[in-house]
Amino acid sequence: MKRVFLDTNVLIDYLGSRKGFPEAAAIVTLAQRQKIHLYVSSLSFATTSYILNVHHKRNHAEIMDLFERFTALCHITTVDEETVSHAIHSDFHDFEDALQHDSALAAGCDIIVTRNKPDFTTSKLKVCEPCEFLSAIVSK
């Protein structure tokens, strides 16, 4: 089964129920149906909490409820000293993307799903936009 790493922007699409991004829900549905294993960085939860609170006006209790339900569907990858060190010395121009990449790599993920594909050009993992990922799954 594929080990699929969701970038923060896809997590925000899903948990924030952002209009215009139905692919995030479709990917999570694949995890619910046990067609894929989902992975998300611990860093993504911090960023998502901030975005949901400030931009989506969700309160702490609502956010924690969303996180509790979502974490039942995913594996949480770590951002530790080694991850930070690799990211510092990587070819990535965006440090947060480097952290995400190295966290996914350390967890043995097969693919990163992001809406920010151009920022992952130096990735050692396959990188797809959500719609690309879903198209590839459907075609199999």
Q: What is the mean pLDDT of each run of 10 residues along the chain (140 residues)?
A: 97 95 97 97 97 94 97 97 96 97 97 97 97 87
Dihedral of CA 11/35/101/93: which sign?
A: negative
| Contact predicate 75/42, CB 8 Å | no
The ranges assigned to domains in the chain are 2-139
Q: How far is CA 115 from CA 60, 88, 131, in A?
A: 26, 23, 9
Q: What is the pLDDT of residues 55-72, one digit of tens each?
A: 989 999 999 999 999 999
CATH numeric code, 2-139 = 3.40.50.1010
Dihedral, 95, 125, 51, 57 alpha carbons, nearest 10: 180
The pLDDT score that the predictor gives to residue 103 is: 97
- The SS3 assignment for 54 reads helix
CA–CA separation, 74 vs 96, rounded Å?
20
User: Of all residues in the chain, what percent are helix, strand and coil, respectively (each to 5)?
Assistant: 55, 15, 30
The pLDDT score that the predictor gives to residue 140 is: 64
- Tokens 């480097």 belong to 98
